[in-house]
């Protein structure tokens, strides 16, 4: 048991090195992780479709390759879980919906395809809210995912199970997707690292692009695929095998002109950094403000940065974000689906809202304004720091708190800091900033300039070293 716990606490970089050097076998690793999954799943419910047989078969294949001296990938034998919105060939992809509860894809999403090619071992699919249209972890099909730090609270979403699994030691790597914060939200609520790379770094196909899969498709200009990990180095390792162009995604970026692992060594001393505590309008929990402000001081006191409090200057774009989300939804297909299947109440209401052409065109104009103001703002600053979320984790089966710091708010307003960075497509990460008096994690968001993923990873690594969690 002690050996199993030691394995489950290892990060992916360490595990990969030990496996490569034959200090630990892939089958020993997968057995330890699956034993931990079996122990914790009855309480946390991170996995909607565990795949132990597949994991053991893949681990045995990797082990045979290593013992025979055959070439293996950078992630050979490392356990990984995949978010249940990402298609996995031969493994159910239910997307948290009754409409897909028995759907087994015949192809992989690009990120899954590349992780498999790198030798990663698939341990299962992680739970999501229905089609990802929620920042929480409940759906009509599976048990509600719980926060490992307090089982009565949400882990956030929509990559709910992914973050809960990594935080609880059931695999060091998880794939997530982020259309409005869905990598950063659960990583912050679970006290781990979540990286949303620049839009297009990791290609999207087919799950977020294809009209063959109503509900699974959509959000083409908002969605980012990214890693959820316990260390910054693990996120860089995952990026090194998943980033790069693919002709099936017209938004995918050319191969990066930098080495992902080298980004961690980037200098941050002397950088001019903006800190926005509330965008100038958002309600923020006082304890979150205090914890994040303390984390920001680390950049000045310990890392030698120059930090200025400043706001980009836009008005709250939440209504525009919701309209853009609907504009990128297969509205006809999903409305037909809603007539056949009982969808989650918040999703049904969004689909059946009588959206007008003016709603959607106005939303696009708001987005252009946010992009323009952010570009002007970031021309003066190399990085931007904010809280990741406006509140600590809240009880399960809620969409969000109705009151923050004494103000009544829309339930989605606790996401005030995440979704604008999907409107702009910039790279962003959440790092653990500290703990509330009740022992709940709070995240600090680090945002980089357009396409400057290296700066975000460098700042994340520097902060991780200065304030290890």
Choosing from 177, 182, 276, 460, which is the catalytic residue?
A: 182
Q: How many CB atoms lie within 10 A of CB 379?
A: 8
198 an active-site residue? no
158 an active-site residue? yes
3-class secondary-structure state, position 307: strand
Which residue carries 């975000």 as its tokens? 456
Choosing from 25, 51, 81, 83, which is the catalytic residue?
A: 83
Q: For 238, which DSSP code? A: H
End-to-end CA separation in angstroms for the chain? 24
**Closest residue by Cα to residue 228 from 81, 115, 435:** 81
H or E segment and range at residue 423? helix 420-424
For 255, residues 6+ apart whose C-beta sits below 8 A from its C-beta are: 243, 244, 245
255 an active-site residue? no
H or E segment and range at residue 289? helix 286-301
In the numeric block, which tokens belong to residue 296?
């920001």
- Tell me if 85 sits within 8 A of 131, measured CB to CB: yes
**Closest residue by Cα to residue 10 from 233, 260, 225:** 233
Cα within 13 Å of Cα(91), Cβ side: 26
Choosing from 25, 134, 158, 460, which is the catalytic residue?
A: 158
Residues known to be catalytic: 83, 158, 182
């Amino acid at each position: 048991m002690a050996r199993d716990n030691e394995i489950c606490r290892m990060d992916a970089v360490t595990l990969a090195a030990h496996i490569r050097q034959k200090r630990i076998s892939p089958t020993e690793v997968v057995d330890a992780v699956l034993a931990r999954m079996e122990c914790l799943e009855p309480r946390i419910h991170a996995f909607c479709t565990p795949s132990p047989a597949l994991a053991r078969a893949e681990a045995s294949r990797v082990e045979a390759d290593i013992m025979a001296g055959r070439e293996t990938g950078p992630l050979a034998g490392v356990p990984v879980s995949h978010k249940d919105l990402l298609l996995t060939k031969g493994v159910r992809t239910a997307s948290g919906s009754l409409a897909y509860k028995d759907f087994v894809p015949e192809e992989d999403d690009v990120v899954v395809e590349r992780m498999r090619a790198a030798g990663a071992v698939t341990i299962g699919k992680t739970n999501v809210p229905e089609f990802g249209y929620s920042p929480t972890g409940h759906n009509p099909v599976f048990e509600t995912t719980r926060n490992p730090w307090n089982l009565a609270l949400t882990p956030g979403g929509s990559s709910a199970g992914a973050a809960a699994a990594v935080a609880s030691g059931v695999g060091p790597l998880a794939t997530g997707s982020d259309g409005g914060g869905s990598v950063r939200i659960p990583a912050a609520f679970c006290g781990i690292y979540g990286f949303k790379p620049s839009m297009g770094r990791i290609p999207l196909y087919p799950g977020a692009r294809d009209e063959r899969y109503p509900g699974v498709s959509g959000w083409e200009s908002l969605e980012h695929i990214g890693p959820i990990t316990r260390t910054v180095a693990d996120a860089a390792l995952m990026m090194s095998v998943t980033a790069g162009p693919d002709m099936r995604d017209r938004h995918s970026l050319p191969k990066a002109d930098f080495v992902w692992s080298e980004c961690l060594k980037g200098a941050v001393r002397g950088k001019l950094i903006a800190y926005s505590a509330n965008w100038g309008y958002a309600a923020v929990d006082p304890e979150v403000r205090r914890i994040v402000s303390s984390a920001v001081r680390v950049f000045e006191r310990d890392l030698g940065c120059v930090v200025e409090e400043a706001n980009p200057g836009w008005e709250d774009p939440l209504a525009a974000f919701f309209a853009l989300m609907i504009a990128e939804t297969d509205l006809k297909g999903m409305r037909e689906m809603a007539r056949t299947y009982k969808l989650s109440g918040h999703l049904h209401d969004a689909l059946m809202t009588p959206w007008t052409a003016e709603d959607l065109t106005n939303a696009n104009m708001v987005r252009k304004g946010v992009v323009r103001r952010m570009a002007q703002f970031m021309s003066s600053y190399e990085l931007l720091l904010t809280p990741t979320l406006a509140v600590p984790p809240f009880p399960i089966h809620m969409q969000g708190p109705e009151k923050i710091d004494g103000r009544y708010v829309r339930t989605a307003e606790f996401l005030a800091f995440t979704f604008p960075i999907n409107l702009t497509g910039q790279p962003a990460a959440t790092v653990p900033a500290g703990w509330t008096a009740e022992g709940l994690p709070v995240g600090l968001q680090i945002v980089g300039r357009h396409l400057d993923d290296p700066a975000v990873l460098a700042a994340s690594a520097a902060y991780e070293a200065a304030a290890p969690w």
